[in-house]
């Protein structure tokens, strides 16, 4: 039986990766390691928590000794590393947490793998999940390829870029078998409502202001989270050691256009007259260092490993809105308590 460590499995993308692996590979033992920060939520996994091949470990990747002990105890065959502080706005408020988890935490995992895998690296795989934000910002044309130079602008993207460099360096220096993917913006169920789409669905539902940063002209390339999970599955099993793969949705949207589409869908699903919530749009102070445009050239992944996105955005977007409207309890649970404080801090004086 293969033992796979998935870090950050209680978060948005991690929970979809854990579900896919637990269900698709009953012959693997899946270990979900998560600190359960504000973004980690075991409610995301209630449907698979009783599967015999699923195990949960509550731990902090910043604790290097603990990572070593766990690698020694379980002798993992593979790692899919998603645990991270992931929200750009929080990184602007508190960069240190991002450096600790995203950089130090990643290096702790690499150190544990280096020590425990020293005689058997050929059979192992350390998969580091990263972001397109490491490449910086594009102008009106072009797309990021795997060879685009790194130029991060936020503390979040700088910490992810740094972790990518360490992962590559541990491959080149110590022979750790690694693979890295850099993905564009994900949407779908279970995303914490600090990120644009779930935040705005929740605000439209409650008729609260929609804080659009700057002029709303920034462009993001949106991919359904379940497709990110299938891309990770493909790369984990077929990716070439030492390589990087870009993952994207071929689906660019200007923020303001995406927001208007979201308003149209939410109003329709709640039985409100078309255009009811357009007046909630409120232009607020821009995000510092706000990247103008991201776009991914994912042709390497398509040509070499045969993966490409299949979910049509129009359908994925509708079902995503339906999920948030149907899962009221989930939304209520994650937006109670410290979320209110976060919201006031981020948006009250913007």
Residue 189 is classified by DSSP as T
Partner from ligand NAD, ligand DAU, none binding residue 88, C-beta < 5-8 Å depending on class = ligand DAU
Task: Select the residue whose beta carbon is closest to ligand NAD and give its number.
Answer: 11
Q: With beta carbons less than 8 A apart as the criterion, state whether 148 and 106 touch.
A: no
6 binds ligand DAU (CB under 6 A): no
What is the token pair recorded at 260? 């208007």
Q: With beta carbons less than 8 A apart as the criterion, state whether 4 and 30 touch.
A: yes
**Catalytic hit among 132, 221, 267, 291:** 132
CB under 8 Å to 302, separation ≥6 — which residues? 308
> Which one of 98, 127, 144, 294 is in contact with ligand DAU (CB under 6 A)?
294
Distance separating alpha carbons of residues 61 and 67, to the nearest angstrom: 6
Distance separating alpha carbons of residues 279 and 296, to the nearest angstrom: 33
Residues in the chain: 350
Residue 122 is classified by DSSP as G
Q: Nearer to ligand NAD by C-beta: 116 or 247?
A: 247
88 binds ligand DAU (CB under 6 A): yes
Q: Phi and psi at residue 45, in whole multiples of 5°?
A: -125, 15
Active site residue 233: no
Q: How far is CA 155 from its chain centroid? A: 16
Distance separating alpha carbons of residues 308 and 303, to the nearest angstrom: 9
Nearest partner of 7 among 52, 61, 55, judged by Cα: 61
**Binding region for ligand NAD (CB under 6 A):** 7-8, 10-14, 34-37, 39-40, 60-62, 82-86, 101, 105, 129, 131, 160, 183, 185-186, 192
**Catalytic hit among 85, 133, 194, 252:** 133
Choose one: 59-67, 128-136, 138-146, 223-231; the region binding ligand DAU (CB under 6 A).
Answer: 128-136
Least Å distance between CB 184 and ligand NAD? 7
Partner from ligand NAD, ligand DAU, none binding residue 294, C-beta < 5-8 Å depending on class = ligand DAU
Q: Nearer to ligand NAD by C-beta: 106 or 277?
A: 106
Task: Select the residue whose beta carbon is closest to ligand DAU and give its number.
Answer: 131
Q: What does the binding site for ligand DAU look like in residue numbers (CB under 6 A)?
A: 86-88, 131-133, 184-185, 195-196, 199, 211-213, 218, 220, 255, 287, 294
Residues identified as active-site: 132-133, 156
């Amino acid at each position: 039986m293969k033992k796979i460590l998935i870090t950050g499995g209680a978060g948005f993308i991690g929970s979809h990766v854990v579900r896919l692996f637990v269900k698709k590979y009953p012959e693997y033992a899946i270990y979900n390691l998560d600190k359960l920060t504000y973004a980690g939520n075991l409610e995301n996994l209630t449907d698979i928590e009783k599967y015999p091949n699923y195990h949960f470990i509550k731990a902090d990747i910043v604790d290097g000794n603990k990572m070593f002990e766990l690698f020694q105890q379980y002798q993992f065959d593979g790692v899919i590393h998603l645990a991270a502080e992931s929200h750009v706005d929080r990184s602007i408020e508190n960069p240190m947490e991002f450096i600790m988890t995203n950089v130090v935490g990643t290096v702790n995992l690499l150190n544990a793998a280096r020590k425990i895998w020293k005689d058997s690296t050929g059979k192992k795989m350390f998969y580091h999940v990263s972001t397109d934000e490491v490449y910086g910002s594009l102008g009106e044309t072009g797309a990021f390829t795997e060879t685009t130079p790194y130029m991060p602008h936020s503390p979040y993207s700088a910490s992810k870029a740094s972790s990518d460099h360490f992962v590559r360096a541990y491959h080149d220096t110590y022979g750790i078998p690694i693979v890295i993917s850099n993905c564009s913006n994900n949407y779908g169920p279970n995303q914490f409502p600090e990120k644009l789409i779930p935040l705005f669905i929740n605000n439209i539902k409650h008729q609260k202001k929609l804080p659009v940063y700057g002029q709303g002209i920034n462009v993001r390339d949106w991919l359904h989270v379940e497709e990110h999970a299938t891309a990770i599955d493909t790369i984990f099993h077929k990716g070439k050691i030492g390589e990087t793969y870009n993952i994207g949705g071929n689906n660019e949207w200007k923020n303001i256009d995406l927001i208007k589409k979201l308003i149209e869908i939410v109003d329709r699903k709640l039985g409100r007259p078309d255009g009811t919530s357009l007046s909630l749009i409120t232009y607020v102070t821009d995000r510092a260092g706000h990247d103008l445009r991201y776009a991914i050239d994912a042709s390497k992944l398509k040509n070499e490993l045969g993966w490409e996105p299949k979910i049509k955005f129009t359908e994925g977007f509708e079902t995503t809105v339906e999920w948030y409207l149907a899962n009221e309890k989930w939304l209520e649970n994650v937006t109670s308590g410290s979320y209110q404080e976060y919201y006031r801090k981020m948006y009250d004086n913007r």
